[in-house]
Structure 1
Amino acid sequence: MGTDSGLRRLALGTLLAAFPGSTPPEWALDLVAEGLAGHTLFGHNIEHPDQVAATTAALRGARSDVLVAIDEEGGDVTRLAHATGSPYPGNAALGAVDDIGLTQRVYHAIGSELAALGINVDLAPTVDVNSADDNPVIGTRSFGADPVRVAAHSAAAIAGLQAAGVAACAKHFPGHGATVTDSHYELPTVDVPLDVLRARDLPPFAAVIAAGTRAIMTAHIRVPVLTGDDPATFSRAALTGLLRGEYGFTGTIITDALEMKGASTIAGGPGPAAVRALAAGTDLLCIGAQVDANLVEQVVAEIVAAIGDGRLDRSRVEKAAERAAALAAWTRTATPVHETSTDLGYAAARRAVRVEGVLSGLDKPLVVQLLSASTIAEGRVPWGLGPHLDGSEHLPVVATETEPAALRELAGERPIVLVGRHLHRLAGAVELVEALAADHPVTVVEMGWPSSWRPAGARAFVTTYGASHANGRAAAEVLGLATVR
């Protein structure tokens, strides 16, 4: 019995779980007391700052060195501001501004906010080089398509977060930026030679390692020349060979969520996925967002069984738990300096806006928002110009269900401002925009990842490089449509 309980605690020490609701249930606290490394907070756990602080205090009451993690990237991926949108622009906007000091300050401010709430690990920044315009899951989460620029801003983001006493986790190794499928739903493949990976995707990881990032997250992507048929999360060659050996990373390797199809389907469920990830060299396993006590126990049982039947060396799991504990220890000994500027994110978003064409004659336009689905990473976070307008009519529509003639009739003599995300690949959007622009004054606002497409006939094309609350306000201000504040 002593051995079993020891193995159970050992397995728990490698897991990041999660729980439903705004208050940690008893089982979530009990698992922390029994040795669970920590929990990740999601939007469904967050109502207001005092409640978040109470949640983290309760977790810390169960064990003082618990890890409390969150995906707070700024921009399109926010948990703290999931109800309104982030007050900070995301990486694409910061990369467009290309002010290294600004990136560090923005991430310092994000880290300061997290630290004040008792959160000690940020599963950010995204350091992927977004080399594919049609990437459905990275896009504006990336600092850009240039490896040198992405590397510089990634290092600055690490410095900013960790100066606030929050451990950074750079993601997604070895680079999710060239994919055109989403690893939440399937296993993407990046079929390139290693020298392409080293030149294009890996420089930001070298930069964040040099900057002292405490953690790096694995990608559920397949790079055949490196990982064979497996995702990088299950690849010893990628994690132990390349990341640890060649790049010299000594911190904590954290998996992307094991519930994602890019991992769980390949392995046969979260439990087997956990075993394969640990064997490959990971240290801290994100189980996912939809977690209950039974799921945690299933994963623990699978790890314990794997140690018993030889699929996992106990020493490998002990090393993983040691690195998870070392991450927690760092967060307790960090000496943070906090950023207090409240308008920083909005000022940064304004600097990122780019205008092609002429912004004139936009008095009380019809503002049409072309609705688009959110990724799992983003969640259902409000976006667009609606909350920032000075009284201009705002109309959300689905591009494939909207006739140009109907919008022209509704607009009458008014110009039309069309707002969307990733318009070049949104079903029906290109056709609708160009049909309208052919015989009506149209200005386009792109709040997603900009491609090379520009609509024929449009008077202006405005790029915000993101759809956060800050990006939306910045666009409304540039268009002269913002409510006076």
Structure 2
Amino acid sequence: MTSDLDRLATTVLHPGFDGTSVPDWMRRALGEGLGGVVLFARNAIDERLVRSVRAEHPGAVIAIDEEGGSVTRLEVEAGSSFPGNRALGVVDDVELTRRVGRQIGRMLGELDITLDYAPSADVNSNPANPVIGVRSFGPDPGLVARHTVAFVDGVQGAGVAACAKHFPGHGDTVTDSHLALPTVHASREVLFERDLPPFRAAIDAGVRAVMSGHLLIPALDPELPATLSRTAMTELLRGELGFDGMLVTDAIEMRAVAAMFAPGEIVVRALNAGVDAVCVGLTSEDGLREMRDAIVTAVRAGVLPEERLAEAATRVRELSSWYAGQSALRDKARADLDEGVGLAVARAALTATGTAALGGRAPLVIEVNTRLSQAVDPATPTGVTAALTALLPGTARVRMEPDGELPELAGERPVVLVVHDAARHAWVREAVAGAVARRPDVIVVDTGIPDEPSGAAHVATHGISRVSARAAAEWLTR
């Protein structure tokens, strides 16, 4: 029999799983009150999968990272129908951003998914940032704030909860928190002027959830990452900014926190800091049980107040109840198909210099394979080769790895060099320079934060998505 304390502990745990069907251990946990489930592309997300979760626990918070652009779990094979935050920021039309948010919410609502871990409200103030980049609306706090609000309004207007992340802001880092603990070297004054405005705006707009970032910010707490810091989670987010919705951690198996503490201790520390739900990207039956037992033991030992645990569980249930009450909005959104909005944004976001075009000639596409961040599913394609092939059959592709060499570029066939975040990678800039030296007519397509234009033509899509690739291919074959 599950005790009341066990059930409270289970409510605040939101794990993911491996495979394309809900494992038996998770079915049992859902029956015992597991508060939520996180789905990834590896789970082959569809109605059948979601129904199997709901069958065990109708009120479970089912969450997904569906940002659009490079971070998609529903459209990972072909690429997203939406170009991502940076492209939206480049266009800077809040109505377009709201429409994109609404269509993403519409997709999730059709699948009966409760919560979208989006938008990224991070201000990408550091051009060397390895994990945010095009996932941010841009480097300006005001721009990021207004588009964060528009995206939240769009998603929640479609009856799905939005989640502003990664509080207090992952934009000024040079470390990926999936791999190690980043440090934000900014004063409290800078944080309030630069990083916090988008979160404050999202809170004022009624965002239902906020995700913590695994970030060491000495100006707030010189010892603990924000996820585990009461100063950041309770005093700042709850107290000064007034957020009263569900606060969820970024995945706790990320090395930024996993290298510091065992999972059970991370969970207890996060709850004590003020977190309500703990995202565990991948775990097992034993792992889930250990985390639940760590919570129960901490309460019984007086380390974690039972009132704090009960408060956290209540906020999880309140989010579930809010979602249940939005069925009319989801029904309305289902009928509101705005099919062309993603491509419209991608076309508007495209920036190009030079006049070279392919015309009717099928090119050689050289994909310079920059390693994308851990947040991006490994199967996510840039899509440029596929988009060009659809318009120019006979298009050929060569992949260039970081330790590789440029292929032979001689001949009459035009050459398209596809890169990502060239400004951030010296080896990519060297590859571009080498290609331009050997073939001055080379065309460069950058799908990330672009470097200075080079080549006969330089096209920046400001994001990785199916529609961004199509917009670039249209321009190159105009």
Report the alpha carbon displacement of residue 374 of structure 1 after superposing the two structures with TM: 2.6
Secondary structure (helix, strand or coil) at the match of 2:63 reads strand
- Provide the rounded CA distance (Å) in 2 between the counterparts of 1:306 and 1:184: 27
Report the alpha carbon displacement of residue 102 of structure 1 after superposing the two structures with TM: 0.5
The answer to whether the 8 Å contact 1:259/1:269 transfers is: no
C-alpha distance after superposition, 1:103-135 (max 9, x if no partner): 000110011111101111101111100011111
Judged with a 3 Å threshold, the aligned counterparts in structure 2 of structure 1 residues 301 and 399 are, in CA distance, closer, same or farther, namely closer
2:291 aligned residue: 299
C-alpha distance after superposition, 1:74-122 (max 9, x if no partner): 1000000112211111000111111100100011001111110111110
2:19 is matched with which residue: 1, 12, 21? Answer: 21
Secondary structure (helix, strand or coil) at the match of 2:408 reads helix
Task: Give the letter aligned to residue 420 of structure 1.
Answer: V
Task: For 1:420-435, list aligned pairs within 5 A.
Answer: 420-426=419-425, 428-435=427-434
- Provide the rounded CA distance (Å) in 2 between the counterparts of 1:106 and 1:168: 13
Task: Give the letter aligned to residue 126 of structure 1.
Answer: S
Does 1:402 pair with 2:405? yes
Task: Give the letter aligned to residue 446 of structure 1.
Answer: D
Task: Give the letter aligned to residue 223 of structure 1.
Answer: I
Task: For 1:121-132, list aligned pairs within 5 A.
Answer: 121-132=115-126
The answer to whether the 8 Å contact 1:86/1:470 transfers is: yes
- Provide the rounded CA distance (Å) in 2 between the counterparts of 1:105 and 1:326: 26
User: What's the % identity of the aligned pairs?
Assistant: 42
Report the alpha carbon displacement of residue 425 of structure 1 after superposing the two structures with TM: 2.9
- Provide the rounded CA distance (Å) in 1 between the counterparts of 2:219 and 2:401: 41
Secondary structure (helix, strand or coil) at the match of 1:69 reads strand
Task: For 1:330-479, list aligned pairs within 5 A.
Answer: 330-334=322-326, 335-336=328-329, 337-338=332-333, 339-360=336-357, 363-380=361-378, 381-389=380-388, 390-391=392-393, 392-403=395-406, 406-409=407-410, 412-426=411-425, 428-440=427-439, 441-451=441-451, 453-455=452-454, 458-479=455-476
Report the alpha carbon displacement of residue 311 of structure 1 after superposing the two structures with TM: 1.4
C-alpha distance after superposition, 1:228-264 (max 9, x if no partner): 1211001111111111111111111110001111112
Task: For 1:272-283, list aligned pairs within 5 A.
Answer: 272-283=265-276
2:39 is matched with which residue: 28, 38, 41? Answer: 41
1:99 aligned residue: 93
2:234 aligned residue: 240
Does 1:135 pair with 2:129? yes
Structure 2 residues without counterparts, runs of 5 or longer: none
Task: Give the letter aligned to residue 233 of structure 2.
Answer: L
Secondary structure (helix, strand or coil) at the match of 1:302 reads helix
2:153 aligned residue: 159
The answer to whether the 8 Å contact 2:252/2:280 transfers is: yes
Secondary structure (helix, strand or coil) at the match of 2:100 reads helix
Report the alpha carbon displacement of residue 408 of structure 1 after superposing the two structures with TM: 2.3
- Provide the rounded CA distance (Å) in 2 between the counterparts of 1:112 and 1:311: 42
- Provide the rounded CA distance (Å) in 2 between the counterparts of 1:383 and 1:130: 21
Task: Give the letter aligned to residue 448 of structure 1.
Answer: G
The answer to whether the 8 Å contact 1:400/1:429 transfers is: no
1:229 aligned residue: 223
The answer to whether the 8 Å contact 1:184/1:376 transfers is: yes
Q: How many residues align structurally?
A: 466
Report the alpha carbon displacement of residue 427 of structure 1 after superposing the two structures with TM: 5.1
The answer to whether the 8 Å contact 1:399/1:432 transfers is: no
1:327 aligned residue: 319
Give the TM-score of the pair, scaled to structure 1: 0.93
C-alpha distance after superposition, 1:157-204 (max 9, x if no partner): 000000111101110000000111000111000011011011110000
Report the alpha carbon displacement of residue 439 of structure 1 after superposing the two structures with TM: 4.4
- Provide the rounded CA distance (Å) in 1 between the counterparts of 2:431 and 2:420: 14
Report the alpha carbon displacement of residue 396 of structure 1 after superposing the two structures with TM: 1.8
The answer to whether the 8 Å contact 2:82/2:100 transfers is: yes
Judged with a 3 Å threshold, the aligned counterparts in structure 2 of structure 1 residues 185 and 439 are, in CA distance, closer, same or farther, namely closer
- Provide the rounded CA distance (Å) in 1 between the counterparts of 2:364 and 2:262: 49
Task: Give the letter aligned to residue 423 of structure 1.
Answer: A
Secondary structure (helix, strand or coil) at the match of 1:16 reads strand
- Provide the rounded CA distance (Å) in 1 between the counterparts of 2:168 and 2:102: 25
C-alpha distance after superposition, 1:299-352 (max 9, x if no partner): 001111111112111111010000111010000001313131222212221111
CA RMSD of aligned residues (A): 1.5
Task: For 1:186-335, list aligned pairs within 5 A.
Answer: 186-266=180-260, 268-288=261-281, 290-334=282-326, 335=328
Secondary structure (helix, strand or coil) at the match of 2:259 reads helix
- Provide the rounded CA distance (Å) in 2 between the counterparts of 1:14 and 1:361: 55
- Provide the rounded CA distance (Å) in 2 between the counterparts of 1:24 and 1:56: 9
- Provide the rounded CA distance (Å) in 1 between the counterparts of 2:376 and 2:403: 23
Task: Give the letter aligned to residue 29 of structure 1.
Answer: R
- Provide the rounded CA distance (Å) in 2 between the counterparts of 1:202 and 1:247: 9
Task: Give the letter aligned to residue 273 of structure 2.
Answer: A
Report the alpha carbon displacement of residue 394 of structure 1 after superposing the two structures with TM: 2.3
Task: Give the letter aligned to residue 403 of structure 2.
Answer: T
Report the alpha carbon displacement of residue 361 of structure 1 after superposing the two structures with TM: 5.6
Report the alpha carbon displacement of residue 450 of structure 1 after superposing the two structures with TM: 2.3
The more displaced of 223-232 and 352-361 is 352-361
Divergent runs of 4+, >4 A? none
Task: Give the letter aligned to residue 202 of structure 1.
Answer: L
Report the alpha carbon displacement of residue 428 of structure 1 after superposing the two structures with TM: 2.1
Secondary structure (helix, strand or coil) at the match of 2:352 reads strand
